[in-house]
Amino acid sequence: MECTSSVYLPTFHMGSSIFLWLFLIFSVIFSPVSAKHSVTWTYGVNYGRIANNLPQPESVVTLLKAAKINHIRIYDADHGVLQAFKGSGIEIIIGLPNEYLKEISIGEDRAMNWVQENVQAFLPDTRIRGIAVGNEILGGTTIELWEVLLPAAKNVYSALYRLGLQHTVEVSSPHSEAVFANSFPPSACIFRPDVAPFMKPLLEFFSQIASPFYINAYPFLAYKNDPQHIDINYALFKDNRGIYDAKTKLHYDNMFEAQVDAAYAALDKAGFSKMQVIVSETGWASRGDPDEAGATVKNARTYNRNLRKLLAKKKGTPFRPKMVIKAYVFALFNENLKPGPTSERNFGLFKPDGSIAYDVGFTGLVPSAAPPSILVSFKEIAGQGWLRWSYLLVSTAWAVVLL
């Protein structure tokens, strides 16, 4: 197995008033989204596409802009999606799918080809800011992928380094809760003994290149698996007694922060106390099978609304108060072709027509309370493009000024 690792070692007149209005409107419409090292972001969304009824990527850009969602993750490097996001200012983490890991781990030349075709070709107009190498590899059932994860990540980083993109595009790999031996209380969390020999060298590499630790944290799954012993209010950020961690003397009033701090505790014990934890997936299903406790629209609304409020505070966790919590919600849409239980197909925040699946604070593209005369359908906006839609807004503003 060829692997070169040396390279990874080395941010008041009437006329004047009218023009001011127009300037402000164009500034809002066409201003780029915050750059990588500007104002701290906390809220992102996973844009999964295992479905046959989703809008075109161009329409998704329109939807995200309307919802002011500026950070997304996708699970591949689909060129149609990357092209559609060109000039949008939305920052994207793309995925190197699990099935490519073996090939990419063999040599840097294959990683270089992949990076050139799927990353460099779209920069800088499409803001690719990260590559997730595999998804939930360690702790999974395919042991042979455990062995190739680190070589693949190193080769991807090496390609970025040789292209001068190592400071623009981050290399990471998201994990599931399966990498932990236990996570309760948070301070007791450690990596599984069988995972640790693979995890530690991966963390050493990510520490050297200043990459965070990505974890998929789902209070929904924890509650679904043990509804008799878990207070659903604790899982939904609602009023509850919470838990007390005797070792750290910290109180937790919601499971989400407890899961994040459990990851921090495991990193601490492994010798990586300075590594940041970012939640790569979290969410709540709005529908499930009869044996999937808690999978309701009401609970999904409550979880996602309260999560959004928490992230908007831009604060840390009880264990890491200075580390601002960042999370990507799963998911943008329901994905009707996903295998598995019913819940897997019902995590979406939006419907394919651009309307909200339930109210978490977004308006969608077609607010239900808006007067018919000013409603513009999702397909109309997507079809006309942002330039024509912007012209409509400017015309409306002009009329307002004249009045």
144 is known as an active-site residue: no
pLDDT confidence band for 39 (50 / 70 / 90):
low
Of 27, 23, 164, the closest CA to residue 89 belongs to 27
pLDDT confidence band for 52 (50 / 70 / 90):
very high
| pLDDT tens-digit readout, 301-323 | 999 999 999 999 999 999 999 99
CA quadruple 200, 206, 210, 212: dihedral, nearest 10: -80
pLDDT of residue 166: 97
Q: What average pLDDT does the chain have?
A: 86
| pLDDT tens-digit readout, 315-372 | 999 999 999 999 999 999 999 999 999 999 999 999 888 889 999 988 777 654 443 3
pLDDT of residue 107: 85
pLDDT confidence band for 274 (50 / 70 / 90):
very high
3-state helix, strand, coil in the chain (%, to 5): 45, 15, 45
| pLDDT tens-digit readout, 170-208 | 999 999 999 999 989 999 999 999 999 999 999 999 999
281 is known as an active-site residue: yes
| pLDDT tens-digit readout, 122-146 | 999 999 999 999 999 999 999 999 9
pLDDT of residue 352: 84
In whole angstroms, what is the distance from residue 400 CA to residue 403 CA? 5
pLDDT confidence band for 33 (50 / 70 / 90):
very low
In whole angstroms, what is the distance from residue 12 CA to residue 304 CA? 45
Q: Is residue 5 pLDDT above 90, yes or no?
A: no
> Are 327 and 260 a contacting pair, CB within 8 Å?
no
pLDDT of residue 136: 98
Q: Is residue 35 pLDDT above 90, yes or no?
A: no
Among 18-22, 201-205, 290-294, the minimum mean pLDDT is found in 18-22
Angle, alpha carbons 343-347-348 (nearest 5°):
145
Which residues lie below 8 Å from residue 109, measured CB to CB, with a gap of 6+?
Answer: none
User: Helix, strand, or coil here: 207?
Assistant: helix
User: pLDDT: is 53 or 15 the higher one?
Assistant: 53
Q: Is residue 6 pLDDT above 50, yes or no?
A: no
In whole angstroms, what is the distance from residue 283 CA to residue 327 CA? 10
Marked catalytic residue, from 136, 170, 177, 257: 136
pLDDT of residue 43: 97
Marked catalytic residue, from 177, 281, 292, 335: 281
